[in-house]
């Protein structure tokens, strides 16, 4: 019988936490016009983040578009009008939140969110 040593590993990290930034109710500015209120924030734990396709446009100005794909639990509260803070950077939600449904069991395994950031 071969005895193998037991290696002590740190506890695993199960995903990253993304912060959802939702526009708050409008407030009146000093001129009496509606202005965007402060954002309401809530955490979105347990996400997997994958890089997506990016693009670069150089024609008088340098513009870089970055996309990330976020795989999140099925119970998330994300809307197409939200913004996301991921690893310290702010992204917009690009398109609808897509859910993965099983045709065999009818359960939802999770959702996919496309995040987009444009600089330049």
Global pTM reads: 0.77
Nearest CA-CA partner of 89 in 2, 19, 37: 19
**Contact at 8 Å (CB) between 78 and 92?**
no
**What is d(CA 49, CA 55) in angstroms, rounded to the nearest whole number?**
18
Output the DSSP codes for 74-110.
TT----TT-EEEETTEEEEE-SPPEEEE-TTT--EEE
Q: What is the pLDDT of residues 7-50, one digit of tens each?
A: 444 444 678 999 999 988 888 988 989 887 889 999 998 899 99
* Whole-number average pLDDT of the chain: 84
Check whether 5 has a pLDDT greater than 90: no
73-101 tens-digit pLDDT: 888 899 999 999 999 999 999 999 998 88
Q: In what helix (H) or strand (E) does residue 115 lie, and over which residues does it extend? A: strand 108-119
The model's confidence at residue 4, banded by pLDDT at 50, 70 and 90, is very low
Q: Tell which wins on pLDDT, 114 or 100.
A: 114
């Amino acid at each position: 019988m071969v005895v193998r040593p037991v290696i002590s590993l740190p506890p695993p990290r199960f995903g990253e936490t993304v912060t959802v930034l939702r526009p708050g109710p409008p407030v009146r500015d000093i001129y009496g016009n509606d202005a965007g209120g402060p954002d309401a924030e809530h955490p979105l734990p347990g996400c997997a983040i994958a890089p997506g396709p990016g693009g670069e446009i150089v024609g008088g100005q340098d513009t870089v578009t970055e996309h990330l794909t976020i795989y999140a639990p099925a119970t998330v509260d994300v809307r197409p009008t939200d913004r996301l803070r991921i690893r310290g950077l702010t992204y917009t939600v690009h398109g609808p939140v897509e859910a993965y449904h099983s045709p065999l069991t009818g359960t939802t395994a999770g959702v996919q969110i496309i995040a987009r950031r444009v600089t330049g």
